Amino acid sequence: MGGRIGYSAATGVMVIVLAWFGIASLMLALVPLVAILPILLYIGMLIGAQAFQTSPPRHAPAIVLALTPHLAAWCKTLMDGALTAAGTSAAAVGLDKLGAAGVVYRGLEVLGGGAILTGLVLAATAIFVIERRFAHAAAFALAGAVLTFFGFMHGESVGLAVTPSVALAYAIVAAFLLGLSRYAEVTTASAALPATGEAAVPAE
């Protein structure tokens, strides 16, 4: 519809105002859920289609990667709802029993924690890897390590060392990507040099 960054900013400000004054809860109580869900489904279809249509085709894997944390969070929400309806919880059932039944509950919990930021960081890292801009990819991976360490990603709450093993994994990936960027710079510089045995032609 032609909306750009101003539309997104205005939407964010409006959501903040509605949340601050409790109007969002009032609107959800007045408007039936069955009337909201079709609208959300339609908007979701448009956004999903637009993500693939307006992005370069080579970025499609990054878009799919960005959706993965949201799918994990959605699956966990469904499982929590089913377990609550049954009068129990994942902790009461036991993660080992869920795992034996093929339900990787802890994995979905970690992957889906902070899904919005997780999707953004994973997609940005993947895009820069696809574009072979490894230094930028390393920066996003490092940002992912910091956000994960403080619980903004891959965690259910904000804190210190919420999921330290995942944060360490991001840091290792960042170091690996930074090494690739340095190797790419050296390779490019070597390719720019004259071949062995050939004299460089001085500039006139």
pLDDT digits (tens, 9 = 90+) for 47-83: 889 889 988 999 999 999 999 999 999 999 999 999 9
**Does 104 fall in a domain?**
yes
**Residue range(s) defining the domain that contains residue 76:** 56-192
The stretch 93-101 carries a mean pLDDT of 87
Domain presence at residue 29 = no
Tokens of 169: 């994994």
The single-letter code of the amino acid at 60 is A
Q: Over the stretch 13-44, which tens digit does the pLDDT of each residue have?
A: 998 998 888 888 888 888 888 888 888 899 88
Pair of tokens at residue 172: 């290792």
User: Does the global pTM surpass 0.85?
Assistant: no
Residue 18 domain flag: no
Number of domains forming the structure of the chain: 1
The radius of gyration of the chain's CA atoms, rounded to the nearest angstrom, is 23
Domain membership flag for residue 74: yes
Round to whole Å and give the CA distance between 47 and 1. Answer: 12
The pLDDT value recorded for residue 202 is 52
Tokens at 68, concatenated: 């993965």
Let me know if residue 121 belongs to a domain. yes
Pairwise CA distance, residues 145 & 164, whole Å: 9
Q: CA distances (Å), 118 to each of 81, 102, 148, 170, 189, in order? A: 23, 24, 9, 11, 35
Query: Could you tell me if residue 64 is inside a domain?
Result: yes
What is the predicted pLDDT for the residue at 152? 92
Largest CA distance in the chain: 84
Q: What pLDDT sits at residue 188?
A: 67
Q: Could you tell me if residue 31 is inside a domain?
A: no
The answer to whether position 28 is within a domain reads: no
